[in-house]
């Protein structure tokens, strides 16, 4: 269909279109989007029944309806009310729908104040603002996300995603590290401030397997792939230890720790002595390294002191 015929049909329905819109008119699809109301041109009452003869009815019936505005809010509303069952609790739930805890790949479709819509193949999922990391989402962007909720709504299943959940990092490592996938290496603990830093403690479940080395990979190749997916978020991979003092020292990486003294096991309190030039590194930017170290150890309260020599030999 040529542009002039399309413009005549448009003008008959809606009145003269702005010149900026006319310059971009090409084909039936844009006309359909305009008469559907995406551009805020109100349709006359007869628009839905009196289609212009220039447009074949077969094309109009085959046209896919446009997605409504603010679709994040609409999808969330359709499933947030009514105590709707989660996937797996209903035998009629489609097997193609991902389950809670899955890692899914998708493409950013659109964004509005309520969140981001991500096309994951079988359906369009919701990445709410609360589950976003400190990163920019643009249409067409490829990303992997962690499924935090699946529910059955009035118009079918709805899936909520997360880019900030600590288990996203855990799943990404399992994807890149065969030793995690086959159980030779276990992720014992993980702490994350999405978009800034993640600490992951790993241990070997099989003799002869270097857990930390397996996660880092040859020349850092495995951890680098996870870094790329997380858009440069810093990742510290450390060895897990059942010895609290050693675990505290490992958790404060990349800072070097001279000595750790356990103050009170019951209160989970420890004193970490670090070289003066590593104190700021142990704390981290805005305290992020210190906070994550505490969480990685299971909530130990760590007191940091610079190494002045008084603790040497004790």
The domain made up of 71-162 has a fold known as OB fold (Dihydrolipoamide Acetyltransferase, E2P) (2.40.50)
pLDDT at residue number 277: 93
What is the DSSP pairing of strand 103-112 with strand 142-153? antiparallel
Distance CA 133, CA 196 (A): 9
| Cα–Cα dist 93/82, whole Å | 17
Count of CB atoms within 10 A of residue 113's CB? 8
Which of the residues in the chain have pLDDT under 50? Answer: 1-7, 9-15, 17-69, 73, 77-90, 313
Residue extents of the structural domains in the chain: 3-62, 71-162, 165-240, 243-314
Architecture in CATH of 243-314: 2-Layer Sandwich (3.30)
Give me the pLDDT at residue 97, please.
87
**Considering the entire predicted model, what is its pTM?**
0.69
- Residue 303: strand pairing partners: 271
Structure tokens at 144: 């992997």
Tokens standing for residue 304: 């940091």
Of the candidates 87, 79, 139, 71, the residue with the CA atom closest to the CA atom of residue 108: 139
Give tens-digit pLDDT for 191-228.
999 999 999 999 999 999 999 999 999 999 999 999 99
pLDDT at residue 57 in the model = 44
Contact 305, 259 (CB under 8 A): no
pLDDT at position 136 is: 92
Question: Out of 3.30.300.20, 3.50.50.60, 3.40.50.300, 3.40.50.2300, which CATH number does the structure's domain 165-240 have?
Answer: 3.30.300.20
149, 87 in Cβ contact below 8 A?
no
> CATH topology of 165-240 equal to that of 243-314?
yes
**What was the pLDDT predicted at 275?**
95
SS3 (DSSP) at 228: helix
Ramachandran area for residue 78 (φ above 0: left; ψ -120 to 50: alpha; else beta): alpha
DSSP characters for 35-46? Answer: HTTTTS-PPPTT
Joined together, the tokens standing for residue 279 give: 């104190």
């Amino acid at each position: 269909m040529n542009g002039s015929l399309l413009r005549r049909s448009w003008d008959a329905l809606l009145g003269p279109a702005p010149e900026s819109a006319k310059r971009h008119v090409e084909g039936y699809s844009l006309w359909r989007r305009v008469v559907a109301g995406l551009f805020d041109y109100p349709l006359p009452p007869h628009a839905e029944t009196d289609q212009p003869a220039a447009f074949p009815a077969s094309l109009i019936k085959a046209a896919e309806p446009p997605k409504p505005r603010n679709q994040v809010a609409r999808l969330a509303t359709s499933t947030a009310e009514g105590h709707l069952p989660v996937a797996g609790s209903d035998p009629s739930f489609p097997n193609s729908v991902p389950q809670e805890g899955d890692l899914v790949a998708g493409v950013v479709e659109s964004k509005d104040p309520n969140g981001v819509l991500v096309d994951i193949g079988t359906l369009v999922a919701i990445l709410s603002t609360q589950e976003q990391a400190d990163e920019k989402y643009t249409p067409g962007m490829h990303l992997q996300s962690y499924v935090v909720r699946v529910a059955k709504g009035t118009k079918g299943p709805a899936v909520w995603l997360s880019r900030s959940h600590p288990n996203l990092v855990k799943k990404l490592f399992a994807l890149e590290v065969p030793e995690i996938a086959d159980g030779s290496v276990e992720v014992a603990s993980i702490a994350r401030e999405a978009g800034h830093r993640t600490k992951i403690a790993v241990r070997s479940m099989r003799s002869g397997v270097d857990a930390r080395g397996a996660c880092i990979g040859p020349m850092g190749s495995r951890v680098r792939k996870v870094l790329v997916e997380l858009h440069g978020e810093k990742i510290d991979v450390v060895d897990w230890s059942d010895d609290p003092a050693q675990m505290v020292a490992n958790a404060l990486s990349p800072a070097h720790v001279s000595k750790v003294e356990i103050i009170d096991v019951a209160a989970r309190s420890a004193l970490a002595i670090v070289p003066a030039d590593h104190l700021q590194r142990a704390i981290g930017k805005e305290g992020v390294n210190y906070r994550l170290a505490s969480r990685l150890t299971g909530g130990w309260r760590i007191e940091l002191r610079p190494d002045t020599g008084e603790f040497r030999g004790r």
